Structure 1
Amino acid sequence: MPSLLHRLIARAPQRLQRDTLELELDDGRRIEVLRVRDPRARRLKLSVDERGARLTLPVRASMVSGDRFLHEHRDWLATQLERHRPPDAAATALAPGHTSQLPLRGEQVPLSWHDGRYIRIARDDAGIHVQRPARASDAALRRALRAFYEAEARADIGRWLPTYLAGLPRTPRQLRLKVMSSQWGSLAPDGTLALDLALVLARPSAFEYVLVHELCHLLQANHSPAFWREVEARFPRWREERTYFHAEGRQLKASLRSLLSG
C-alpha cells in the first residue's frame, strides 16, 4: 500500500519545455533562438549546430537570467552561426526546374528535369534525372530526393559490408539511415547500426571509414586503444578520413538539411 500511495502522490516527471525567442545581433541580423527548459540541465548553456542556436536553461533559472546570458554571448553566437553556415546556402537549396547539380559521393553531379506523370529520381552515366508532374509539391519532391539518397547509400553499404564481416562476432541487427545533427554513426546495444544520410554526399572513402568505425564497435564498445587497433587493421587510412570530416563535415550536413528541408 505505501508504494501505491507513493506512486499516486509522487510529482509527475518534468518534461522539456520549448519555445523560441528573437535576438538581434550586433550586425543588425535578427535570428531565432530555440529556448529549452531541461530538467536535467545544471547550468545555462548556449549551443549552435546546423539547425541554429539553442539556449538551455535549468528548471530553476529565470527567463531574465537566460536573456542576460544570451545577450552577453552575442559575439560568440554570431561567430558560431557563421561557422555553421554553408559557404553558399542558396546553391544547396533544391529549386524545382532550376537546380542544375546535386552533391553525391564527393562530387557535384549534373541534374536534369523532365516532365512526367509521377515523381521519379534516377541516375545514369549522364547524371541525375528528375521526372515530375507540373503540380508536384515541393514536399513530395524532397521526399523523393531523400529516398533517392537512401537508395544510393544502401547500394554503397551493400558493396562494402561483405568485405568487413569476417572476424566480427555478429552482423548488425538492423541498418538505419538518419539525418544526424552531430554524429556520423552509432551502434546501439541491440546491434542496430545507424548512419548519417549525409555520408552519401561525402567522398566514398570517408563513408566507408565511418561504416568500418561503427562495425568495430561490435568488437570494442568504446574508443580504447584496442578499438583503434581494430580500425587500423581494417582501414589503415582512417586518419585521413577523420581529417576530411573535420574540414568538410559541417558543409556536408548543412547541404543535406538544406536540400531536404527546403
Structure 2
Amino acid sequence: MPVLPGPPPVEVHLKRVARARRFSLRVSRLDGKVTLSMPARAREGEALAFLQGHEGWLRETLEAMPDSAVRPVGLGSVIPVEGRDLTLVQGTGRAIRVDGDQLLVPGNPASAGPRVAAWLKALARDRLARASTHYAGLVGRPYSALALRDTRSRWGSCSPDGRLMYSWRLIMAPASVLDYVAAHEVAHLVELNHSPAYWAVVSKIYPGWKVERDWLHSHGQALHRLRFQD
C-alpha cells in the first residue's frame, strides 16, 4: 500500500479497474479511506505520479473532513457492543471478556484492535444466526446459508436462493437494531422485493421497525468509522 509522505503521511489504496481509462482519487466520507483507481495495465509509478500531482487537493479534502471520520481502535478506546459502550483495557488469560463497563483484552496491546474485531465477528455470527432462525421460523421459510461481511453500502441482503448476508458491525448496534435487520432480510424469503406485501411481512414479524431503521440512518455511519486494523 503506497503512502503519501508528509505531515501527516496518508495511506492510499490502489485499485485496478478493468474498464478504467484514467486515474481517479476518491476519499470516503464514511471512514476517510483514500482510494486511487487506475487502469488495469497502468504502472504503479504512473499512479504515484498522479497521486503526487493531486496532493494539494487530497490534503485539503482530508482536512475538511471531521476529526471523527476515522477512529482507530486500541487499548483505551471506547466502542459500543450491542449498544453498550465498553472501554478496552489490558486483560489477563487468553479470552476476551466483558467485566462491567470494560472489555478485557489479553495479549500484545499492539494486536488489541484485530483481536477485538475477531471477537465481535464471532459474537455477531452467534446473535445473527439466532435472530435469523427465530424470524425464519415466524415466516415458515428456512434460509440456506448465513455469511458476514464488512459491507458499507448495506447492512444485509438476501439472495434468491435464501442466502443471508449481514454486516458484522451490526453487533455494535443496540440488540433491537440487529433484530430488525435480521427480520428485514428474512422477510425477503417470502417477498424478494420491497413491495407493500413485503413491508406487511416485516410489520408482522417485527412491529414498530421504523424506530430501528431510523437509528441506523442516524447512527449507522459511526459504526463504520471504527478502524480495527492497522
Q: Provide the TM-score with structure 2 as the length reference.
A: 0.73
Instruction: Say if 2:185 is the partner of 1:245.
Output: no
> In the alignment, is the contact (CA less than 8 A) between 2:143 and 2:162 conserved in 1?
yes
| Cα-to-partner distance string for 1:48-70 (whole Å, 9 max, x where unaligned) | 14261113244588958955995
> SS of 2:96's equivalent?
strand
Q: Aligned ranges for residues 1-262 of structure 1 at < 5 Å?
A: 20=2, 22=4, 29-41=8-20, 45-47=24-26, 48=28, 49-50=30-31, 52-58=33-39, 63=46, 70=54, 74=58, 77-78=61-62, 81-82=65-66, 85-86=69-70, 89=71, 93-95=73-75, 99=76, 102-109=79-86, 113-116=90-93, 119-123=94-98, 126-128=100-102, 130=104, 132=106, 136=108, 138-139=110-111, 141-142=112-113, 144-157=115-128, 159-166=130-137, 168=139, 170-255=141-226, 258=227, 260-262=228-230
Gaps of 5+ in 1: 1-18
RMSD value over aligned CA atoms?
A: 3.8
Q: Could you tell me the percent identity over the aligned residues?
A: 26
Q: Which has the larger radius of gyration?
A: 1
CA apart distance, 1:144: 4.3
> SS of 1:172's equivalent?
coil
Q: Where do 4+ consecutive residues of structure 1 move more than 6 Å?
A: none
Aligned position for 1:7? none
Gaps of 5+ in 2: none
Residues matched between the structures, number: 225
Q: Provide the TM-score with structure 1 as the length reference.
A: 0.65
CA apart distance, 1:196: 1.2
Opposite residue 215 of structure 1, the aligned amino acid is V
